[in-house]
Amino acid sequence: MAFGEFIAFLVGWNLILEYLVGNMAVAISWSAYFVSLLKNFYIFIPNYFLKPFNFPAFLIVISITFLLILGIKESAKFNNFLVILKVLILLFFIFVGIFHIKLQNYQPFMPNGFSGILTGAGLIFFAYIGFDAISTLSEETKNPKKHLPISIILSLLISTVIYISIAFILIGISNYKSLNIPDPLSKALNDINLNWVSSILAIGALISTTTVLLTFQAGQARIFFAMSRDRFIPKFFSYIHPKFKTPFISIIICGLIVGIFSAISDISVVAELTNIGTL
């Protein structure tokens, strides 16, 4: 509200677009990695569970929604546990993959020229959205003035290092032209006949996307809550559950929107829409 009500209203809806559509893309990716993991154990999900309605994507969003209704402390403990597992698995991928890099995959270094880099820069925004979600949970923090800036800066630095490392190794393992799929890390490991590592990575991908879903769902519900409290949207969005003390109506509505549209949407379309909301 420091810049006026109109700017606050505009920023609020941009964040809602970013989180809602971003979570749709994450849910679709979660479903792809879930299917890939089951295939490694020779369990095959029939296509009618994936198209035209993606049931795994829908069910994971609904599960996260119920968890968030139970309270922020319970969600935070669950999220912290998953983040530790996720980082360990990503470090494991870096350690294993570094021994299978093919230097020829880096040639030419800029196959699409400078314009390709600019196009990629526009899409890479998707990799860095979410750090601003920390600020949406400031009311749940004991000392937000001290902890929020530190958390945002550290999350950006750590994420940048991990992203660059994984991207470098991923392209070194497989040609970039073959990686335009929902589960590129598993595909790269299968290319070098490390199916057992692919299974571990698929578990890590499920964990990773689950933490993103949890963070985005929590963030977007708090944005609805704040906008409702400031009378930008209907009052019922700010109703608090009498037992769990959470904005349950906002959480449920966000969960239903994300769940339904993630089940019927294409990942490339929703990823581009997310970048629009972010920019």
CB 121 within 8 A of CB 20: no
Q: Where are the domains of the chain?
A: 5-278
User: What's the pLDDT score for residue 259?
Assistant: 93
- The arithmetic mean of pLDDT across residues 69-82, rounded, is 80
Using pLDDT thresholds of 50, 70 and 90, give the confidence band for residue 271: low
- The arithmetic mean of pLDDT across residues 191-202, rounded, is 77
User: What's the pLDDT score for residue 56?
Assistant: 93
Q: In terms of pLDDT, which residue wins out, 170 or 122?
A: 170
Using pLDDT thresholds of 50, 70 and 90, give the confidence band for residue 174: confident
Query: What is the token pair recorded at 34?
Result: 């879930």
Question: Angle at Cα 90 formed by Cα 262 and Cα 180, nearest 5°?
Answer: 45
Measured distance CA(249)–CA(236) in Å, rounded: 7
- 104 pLDDT higher than 60: yes
CA-to-CA dists, residue 183 to 35, 188, 198, 245, angstroms: 10, 9, 10, 37
Residues 6 or more apart in contact with residue 77 via CB below 8 angstroms: none
- The arithmetic mean of pLDDT across residues 21-48, rounded, is 85
- 274 pLDDT higher than 70: no
Question: Which one is the CATH code of 5-278: 3.40.220.10, 3.30.413.10, 3.90.1650.10, 1.20.1740.10?
Answer: 1.20.1740.10
User: What's the pLDDT score for residue 121?
Assistant: 75
**Residue 50 has what DSSP assignment?**
T
